[in-house]
Amino acid sequence: MESTRLGEVEISKIVFGTMQHGPPAIVADENRRVRALHAAFDAGVTTVDTAPLYELGRSEEIVGRAVRGRDVAILTKVGLRWDGQHGDLLFAFPDGGRTIEVRKDSRPESIRWEVEQSLRRLGVSVLDVVQIHHHDPHVPVEESIGALLDLRTEGKLRAIGVCNFGVEALATAKAALGDVPLASIQDRYSLLAREVEASVLPWARERGVPALAYSPLAEGALVGPRGLSADDPRRDSALFTRANHARLLDVLDTYLRPVAHRHGASIAQVALAWVAGQPGVGGVIVGASHEAQARANARVGSIALSEIELKRVGAALEGFVVEPAPPPGPAKRVARKVRRGLGRGRRWVTQLVR
């Protein structure tokens, strides 16, 4: 599989993402998730992306179990806390009888504490890449980067990146790093989410900073025909309303399926290969809920779309508009309250933010 360098860290072009989507029963099945990770590693994926926020630390613990004894690069993050009052509220979610508030916190002391916690949960002595999860407007970027540089000097991390940063904050971060390279810029990017093409991706290409694309299948909407179970939280997403999904499937069937047929691939693999084939994209972060899916994702590392295919696939969805989901009716509102009462809100945290 093709590889990319993030600073001094080498990663595979396909990165296993651990932000979970899907029914709570699947998300809760730790053994199944470890098997999927192992299947990806055995198929050539050498890199996993995680974060403390994903399931409030549980994701890192599962990754730690999966990578034990394996030569795998670990990318994680700092800068989002759910146990304090500093910083802007990013979102809140119900967890049993309480409400958990997630806030941006990139203070140096908080970053140091988070790195120590990640090392403990993952069971490793050094983190390969640590990325600031979101820009904290109340803390100078130079101070946050300074904390990561200190931790790098101490041997607790190898490379430094950022996620969800605008161009101005990116420029400040790169300058604050001095001679140390800005290893990565991670942002949402898919056939249905092209905002980074306007400024972030050109900025990264011009400076030779690899971009990491997350949510490349748009929460699974670009997989193609599929049915969602009654307890899958994506059923409330605008992407999966009957009208939007029907229009999307028509486009996928008309434009992506012929490309998939030529490559002996699936529609999902073509959607991933399109992202992987964009200039400046160093890695595509994609998760899997079972072993076969993990192996299929890994195969994307060997699928190269032609220039004509890249242009045609990109043009097919360039103007696709996702219409807002209609407001939930009384029955759906009651169902949501019941689910909250069962304490499932915590399991859905990774549906809300990257």
Instruction: Work out whether the CA dihedral 289, 291, 292, 294 comes out positive or negative.
Output: positive
pLDDT: which is higher, 294 or 230: 294
Fold classified for 3-351: TIM Barrel (3.20.20)
Please state the rounded mean pLDDT for residues 237-253: 88
> Domains of the chain: which residue ranges?
3-351
Chain centroid to CA 6: 16
pLDDT tens figures, 32-45: 999 999 999 999 99
* Residue spans of beta strands (DSSP E) within the chain: 3-6, 9-12, 14-17, 47-49, 73-78, 80-81, 89-95, 98-104, 127-132, 157-163, 182-188, 211-214, 281-286
Q: Phi/psi class of residue 10: alpha, beta or left (left: φ > 0; alpha: ψ in -120 to 50)?
A: beta
Give the pLDDT confidence score for residue 163 in this predicted structure: 97
Please say whether the dihedral angle defined by the alpha carbons of residues 232, 235, 238 and 239, taken in this order, is positive or negative: positive
Reported as a single tens digit per residue, the pLDDT across 304-352 is 999 999 999 999 999 888 888 777 665 454 444 444 444 444 444 444 4
pLDDT confidence of 354, banded at 50, 70, 90?
low
Between 336 and 214, residue with greater pLDDT: 214
pLDDT at 352: 47
pLDDT (tens digit, 9 = 90+) per residue, 80-103?
Answer: 999 988 999 999 988 878 899 999
The token duo for 229 is: 């179970």
CB contact set of 224 (below 8 Å; sequence gap of 6+): 249, 252, 253, 256, 257, 266, 267, 268
Residue-wise pLDDT tens digits, 130-182: 999 999 999 999 999 999 999 999 999 999 999 999 999 999 999 999 999 99
